[in-house]
């Protein structure tokens, strides 16, 4: 299903407004170019990935950012569960 330019604008503004209200570490991933209304800060980042949403490289970028936000603690917890 295709959206119109007006619908895309409303969606972009809706997403941007909500992301801009967030204080804690936020990473918003886009599989390509869109949503330019997000104000980036040190803790709020818009990460553009030139891949399709189903590409392994896109998933890898999301996982890497999640792990970076979680720090080593998240990795240790996962390793502890496996033992």
Residue 33, pLDDT score: 45
Residue 26, pLDDT score: 83
Residue 1, pLDDT score: 60
Global pTM value: 0.53
Structure tokens at 14: 């809706």
Please enumerate, as own/partner, the contacts of 44-48 that have beta carbons within 8 Å and a separation of 24 or more: 44/19, 44/20
Does residue 79 surpass a pLDDT of 60?
Answer: no
Total domains, the chain? 1
Q: Give the position of tokens 């990460």.
A: 47
CA distance 18 to 39: 11
Give the structural domain span for 38. Answer: 5-82
Residue 60, pLDDT score: 92
Q: pLDDT, tens digit, for every residue of 17-68?
A: 998 998 888 888 876 645 556 777 888 887 888 888 888 998 899 999 899 8
CA distance 73 to 3: 41
């Amino acid at each position: 299903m295709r959206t119109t330019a007006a619908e895309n604008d409303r969606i972009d503004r809706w997403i941007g407004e909500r992301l801009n209200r967030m204080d804690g570490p936020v990473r918003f991933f886009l599989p390509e170019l869109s949503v330019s209304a997000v104000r980036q800060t040190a803790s709020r980042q818009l990460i553009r990935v030139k891949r399709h949403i189903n590409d392994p490289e896109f998933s890898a970028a999301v996982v890497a950012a999640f792990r970076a936000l979680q720090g080593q603690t998240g990795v240790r917890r996962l390793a502890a569960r496996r033992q």
